[in-house]
Amino acid sequence: MDTFGVDIGNTQIKVAFWREDSLQAVHRVRTLDEASALIHAQSCTRGIVSNVGMEEERLQQILPDWGNPLVFSSTTPIPIANQYRSPQTLGLDRLAAAVGAHVLFPQEPVLIIDIGTAIKMDIVLPDEGFVGGYISPGIRIRFQSLHSFTNRLPLLEPEPFDSLIGQTTQECLLAGVMQGTLAEIEGMIQKFQVEYPFRLVFSGGDAHFFESQIKTTKFTEPNLVLIGLHRILQHNVH
């Protein structure tokens, strides 16, 4: 394995290893120390790091120990166009996912739906590249908000709930969050379809709650950001 990628998100860290262009393994860890142990166990010659969930100072302290990999930023050259009007505020995970979608479907418009801490929907076009998209609260944020901004509503963990109507407070919360989120996603897919005859790509840690309920033909890729990071590394290191 000669290449590694580290995707530092809001809730977890993903560490991936490639041999040539072949993804060999993806590990999910909680700390930089765990990530370091994985990287040191391999003989990688180059790497890339994307960080959206950790203090920059802490990351900078450990980069020399990782062989000073490429740190993905808003100024890093990428192999697709970026139409975002404020690129310095664009989440690096969204941009890397866009590159990953282009790697998978270079000749097709793609709608990426990433369901994680936030729900992100982004459009990638064959020639125009990353066009922009949409952000709304993820399901865990919705449950947390209902609990935090009321006096009596309990804090629930996400779980599948197929009924439109709840008959207990817990069921009402599940119906509101899970069915409401599903309706939001389906409604936005319909709106996007009017303008873009897209390929739908699902990703994100909470996508599994909705995959089977979305009837639109879709492609699920849990490692979309990592695929994009690997392509960005290739674009910058020759």
Helix axes 139-148, 180-195, angle to 10 degrees: 130
Is the torsion defined by CA of 26, 27, 28, 34 positive or negative? Answer: negative
Element (H, E) at 225: helix 224-236
Reported residue count of the chain is 238
How far apart (Å, rounded) are the C-alpha atoms in residues 112 and 122?
5
Tell me the C-alpha distance between 47 and 40, whole Å: 12
Residue 114 a catalytic site member:
no
H helices of 105-223, in order, are 139-148, 169-174, 180-195
User: Which H, E and C letters describe 64-131, residue by residue?
Assistant: HHHCCCEECCCCCCCCCCECCCCHHHCCHHHHHHHHHHHHHCCCCCEEEEEECCEEEEEEEECCCEEE
Considering the candidates 93, 127, 162, 206, report the single residue annotated as catalytic: 93
Contact 61, 49 (CB under 8 A): no
- Tell me the C-alpha distance between 114 and 121, whole Å: 6
C-alpha span between 186 and 119 (Å, rounded): 13
CB atoms under 10 Å from CB of 94, counted, come to 22
Query: What is the set of active-site residues?
Result: 93
